[in-house]
Structure 1
Amino acid sequence: MEDSWNMSELMLSDVLVSNVYNQFFHQNQNLFKDKIVLDVGCRSGLLSILAVEAGAVKVFAIGNMRSAKCIAKVLGNGERAEIFEPLNGCITQIILPCGLRKVDIIVSEWMGHALFADSLFCQVLYARDKWLIKNGFIFPSVANLYIQGISLNRELLVDKNVLIMEDYVNRQSLITEKCLLKSIDLTSIKDDIEFQKADFKMKALRNGTMSACLLYFDICATNGKGQLQKLFSIGPEAPKTYMMQTILFLKEDALVVAEQQILFGRLSMILGYFAPRGVEFSLGIWLAK
């Protein structure tokens, strides 16, 4: 489950998200104090470091061993260094050291493009079912995936045949209202993770042509008071983060829409259990009669 070092560097360079994570751990140290923590993916290593600083008694990391080596250097040779321990190997073959069978907390920078592509979603659910104690804590745990119609000039694209791309869309390109596709809580989700399907409807904001749909999400976590707290968003209204929005272009000609007109659609995503990078999208859009 070795993860991309390029993505790790992007995460570490994102001041906005790093500050949000740092603030959450600082304000909710009671959640982590004297707890055993498992970092699934260890992408940037930031969550492992913050868990150590928040008072965890032990932090295990699975995934990016290059990040794990950097964490060890950051923690130095003192008592904090002994708290952190990387576990090398495939997640399905790993055995927790010292006879441990459970952990109190799972942390993971699990989100991918359009939430599921290039994600660690499946690995977090596997770790949850295998190692997390009953009523254990996952950070971050809740994600809301949205879809919104946009108007983009495909003539400006270098590759006119592209159907999926990553970018950041400005508010001027929005042509429909947003629609919540799916709300996911990693502590309780039991859906078929190999196939995600959602029907939706959107209302046009103005007259124009819709050439694509925009996928984006916001990320939340339950704080020490039991309240669901929004951490950050990658929507058009939010500041840019290391995560890009996902644009799905319509195969056919752009749809001509009128203000207040209703559009119906269905989005399907197929992902392999341990091959989450290979997500296939299927999008259908039609106008209300």
Structure 2
Amino acid sequence: MDQYFESYEELDIHQLMLNDKTRVLAYKTAIFNSKEKFQNKIVMDIGAGSGILSIFCAQVGAKKVYAVEASMLANSIEQVSIENNVQDKVKVIHNKVEDISPDSLEKVDIIVSEWMGFYLVHEGMLDSVLFARDNLLHEDGLLFPSIAKLYASPCQLPSMFDFWNNVCGVSMRCIGKEYRKTKSLKPEILLVNQDDILTEGKLLAWLDLECISVEEIDLLGGQNYVSVCKKDGKFQGMCIWFAVEFPDGSELSTGPHDKTTHWKQTAMVLPEDMEVTRNEPIAFKFELKKDASHPRRYNMELSLLDAEEVEHDIPCDCHMTKCIVTKKYIDDLSHPLSFDTFPMKSMNSEWPDEPFEEMDSTLAVQQYIQQMIRRDPSNIDLILNMPEANDEGVWKYEHLRQFCMELNGLAVRLQEECHPETCTQMTATEQWIFLCAAHKTPKECPAIDYTRHTLDGAACLLNSNKYFPSRISIKESSVAKLGSVCRRVYRIFSHAYFHHRTIFDEFENETFLCRRFTAFVTKYNLMSKDNLIVPIMEGEGATESEA
């Protein structure tokens, strides 16, 4: 038996996990909230342990629950099911899920698993869940949880630093320094006080368990990040935590602002602390990489970077001049009254135009596009007129980033009346029903969820270092992916036009965004004209074709 599974035969471990009421009740709530999804369904509980999740599934009406447990604790699950009068529904499989032949049992409708370890992926059990998803779950099956997110934030760690300053009146800073050198070599599991968190949590990884591959979890993070301090303090380490979402929309979060769990938080300790001030940017690179020789382990690496040399989020709240200026641009662009309230002449005098050739930045194209929008959002020809000597691939890419950013404004307004109960499908006209590609198999999705998934997916792709590592030049193979993004985000316009016309018209009158987008995709042949069903351009009529 694998040592990993033997370790889970210690009942103390299970008492610790079962005593974690936040953990147990999160799963129970998600399962009981989804009672109708479990009734008469076949469920698989992977890493069933004591069997409590299997019992929950049986209690809400599951037809059969396969409780898969590789350790000797499997022998206890049957007794637990008898104690709870569900022995006719719970079938124990004493084996690793990878050793179950797909031909030995029917496909299951739902997979339930509490697979998370410290910093989400420690112990590598997610691999087993993905194996079961690919081999044992129906194509339209559900996973509990369905989404996992990993976060990090610079923090203070007074127990690692302040303690040594005064030990009963004796200064031991020299020992503290050596202590921190040792502690900085591996992550620490501890509770971080929410008052010691210096910045908003930075999302390092967003995993859609319905479609992510095993290869994609070999490396998490790996990007350059910038976090902005919310207060003065001492940067002494990095706090890491995770959250998972269930199909009913509920969430289990292990962050320092949430109820305590047995996972606590993970901290990477710095050998020396650094004084930081409110609005100061902290730039870093963080990655989790699966250990090739020990696949249940991940190697964690933190590198501190120069905030001057790293690309910041847009907008960014830090105190650097470039971010203050960019944020002002965006605030003015997105203010719903900006174009009506302030004369364009005064806006131009406040923000003088800068010739493109004088813009010396990797963000020059983005800044130029925003400058043209600010000058006159209705002058679409001017906005789409590419400066000489510019790379066309970069021009298309930056415009699409800008479209997606502005479309978030429409998405926010749609939330006022586009509810899952009223807009149960992403539709345009009666002949257009769109399937959401954010799932393992594309399927129907409420319109507001489709909108959120589409914009999240577009942001993920457009911010991917794999496909778009540079904003100065872009490979043709990456440019080819832009058409697919255009087709999907256009559906947000079409749904708003045909089902929320008042919101669409108000937004369009302020931004001219759909007109600009339509002209953009037409000019660069990124969409078929047959699919441009919103009659937004002058003299254009609505056309319909099969979805």
Q: TM-score, normalising length from structure 2?
A: 0.48
1:102 matches 2:122: no
Task: Give the number of the structure whose alpha-carbon radius of gyration is greater.
Answer: 2
Among candidates 77, 82, 95, match of residue 76 of structure 1? 82
Deviation, 1:13, is 0.9
Among candidates 231, 237, 241, match of residue 251 of structure 2? 231
Q: Aligned residue pairs: how many?
A: 282
Secondary structure, counterpart of 1:117 in structure 2: coil
1:254 matches 2:278: no
Q: Give yes or no for contact 2:43–2:62 (8 Å, CA) kept in 1.
A: yes
Q: Which structure 2 residue ranges, 5 or more long, are not aligned?
A: 165-175, 309-547
| Residues in 1 aligned to 2:44 and 2:293: alpha-carbon distance in whole angstroms | 18
Secondary structure, counterpart of 1:196 in structure 2: strand
Deviation, 1:216, is 0.8
The CA deviation string for residues 222-261 of structure 1, in whole angstroms up to 9 with x for no partner, is 12xxxxx1322111111111221100123x5223322211
The CA deviation string for residues 41-83 of structure 1, in whole angstroms up to 9 with x for no partner, is 1134221111111111111122254443333222218972132
Deviation, 1:107, is 0.5
Among candidates 257, 262, 278, match of residue 242 of structure 1? 262
- State the partner residue of 1:11: 17
1:171 matches 2:194: yes
- Alpha carbons of structure 1 residues 274 and 123: separation in structure 2 relative to 1, 3 Å: farther
Identify the structure with bigger relative contact order (alpha carbons < 8 Å, sequence gap 6+): 1
- State the partner residue of 2:220: 196
| Residues in 2 aligned to 1:210 and 1:285: alpha-carbon distance in whole angstroms | 11
- State the partner residue of 2:330: none
Q: Give yes or no for contact 1:194–1:273 (8 Å, CA) kept in 2.
A: no
The one-letter code sitting in structure 2 at the alignment partner of 1:231 is E
| Residues in 2 aligned to 1:32 and 1:231: alpha-carbon distance in whole angstroms | 19
| Residues in 2 aligned to 1:78 and 1:42: alpha-carbon distance in whole angstroms | 16
Within 5 A, what are the aligned runs for 1:21-170? 21-76=27-82, 80-95=86-101, 99-153=104-158, 154-155=160-161, 156=163, 159-160=179-180, 161-163=182-184, 164-170=187-193
- State the partner residue of 2:494: none
| Residues in 1 aligned to 2:58 and 2:294: alpha-carbon distance in whole angstroms | 30
Secondary structure, counterpart of 1:222 in structure 2: coil
| Residues in 1 aligned to 2:13 and 2:285: alpha-carbon distance in whole angstroms | 30
| Residues in 2 aligned to 1:233 and 1:80: alpha-carbon distance in whole angstroms | 30
Q: TM-score, normalising length from structure 1?
A: 0.88
- State the partner residue of 2:244: 219
| Residues in 2 aligned to 1:107 and 1:278: alpha-carbon distance in whole angstroms | 23
Report sequence identity in percent: 27
The CA deviation string for residues 77-120 of structure 1, in whole angstroms up to 9 with x for no partner, is 897213212212233222368x4241111110011111011241
Deviation, 1:167, is 0.8
Higher helix share: 2
Deviation, 1:285, is 1.8
Deviation, 1:274, is 10
Q: Give yes or no for contact 2:30–2:246 (8 Å, CA) kept in 1.
A: no
Q: Give yes or no for contact 1:45–1:67 (8 Å, CA) kept in 2.
A: no
Secondary structure, counterpart of 2:30 in structure 1: helix
Q: Give yes or no for contact 1:114–1:145 (8 Å, CA) kept in 2.
A: yes
- Alpha carbons of structure 1 residues 81 and 64: separation in structure 2 relative to 1, 3 Å: same
| Residues in 1 aligned to 2:202 and 2:88: alpha-carbon distance in whole angstroms | 46
Q: Give yes or no for contact 2:98–2:128 (8 Å, CA) kept in 1.
A: no
Q: Which structure 1 residue ranges, 5 or more long, are not aligned?
A: 224-228
1:286 matches 2:310: no
- State the partner residue of 1:226: none
| Residues in 2 aligned to 1:81 and 1:274: alpha-carbon distance in whole angstroms | 40
| Residues in 2 aligned to 1:79 and 1:18: alpha-carbon distance in whole angstroms | 20
Cα RMSD, aligned residues only: 2.4
| Residues in 1 aligned to 2:295 and 2:88: alpha-carbon distance in whole angstroms | 32
Q: Give yes or no for contact 2:68–2:95 (8 Å, CA) kept in 1.
A: yes
- Alpha carbons of structure 1 residues 274 and 25: separation in structure 2 relative to 1, 3 Å: farther
Q: Give yes or no for contact 2:97–2:128 (8 Å, CA) kept in 1.
A: yes
More displaced stretch, 153-162 vs 204-213: 153-162
1:183 matches 2:206: yes
The one-letter code sitting in structure 2 at the alignment partner of 1:210 is F
More displaced stretch, 37-46 vs 106-115: 37-46
Deviation, 1:149, is 0.6
Secondary structure, counterpart of 2:183 in structure 1: coil
- Alpha carbons of structure 1 residues 178 and 78: separation in structure 2 relative to 1, 3 Å: closer
- Alpha carbons of structure 1 residues 23 and 274: separation in structure 2 relative to 1, 3 Å: farther
The one-letter code sitting in structure 2 at the alignment partner of 1:46 is I
Secondary structure, counterpart of 2:258 in structure 1: coil
